[in-house]
Amino acid sequence: MNLLTATVKPEINPEEIEKEIIDEVFKAINSEITDEEIQRIKYGYKVQAIYNLQSVNAIASRMNEYNFYTGDPDFMDTILEMIETISADDMRKTAQKYFTENYARLLIVPG
């Protein structure tokens, strides 16, 4: 699941911002991904994976989750290896497959 949020000033029309965000997402999906961008994305995923293991409780919980779903409590190693094998083309194809116009929207306007 992907989540994009925007906070707009009261004088700004939220629908206009939504359209701009969606346009930018589709522009990004259909553009080339540079080597620098792919490395930055991979680094971000690795940092997030490691950041989520900052306490003994978090490590135990994650290992239990991996063991439950994969049968391997040390599945983090596999995840980190898989991240390294992802190519720019893989990312683009995946984004094009899952980022469609079928999305949900929740708009909260303070009264």
| Residues 66-81: tens digit of each pLDDT | 999 999 999 999 999 9
* pLDDT over threshold 80, residue 84: yes
Per-residue pLDDT, 63:
94
H/E stretch holding 111 reads: none
- Which DSSP state fits 74? T
Rounded distance between C-alpha atoms, residue 35 and residue 30, angstroms: 16
| Residue 14 structure tokens | 């939220």
Tell me the C-alpha distance between 15 and 36, whole Å.
Answer: 33
Poorest-confidence range of 2-6, 36-40, 82-86, 104-108?
104-108
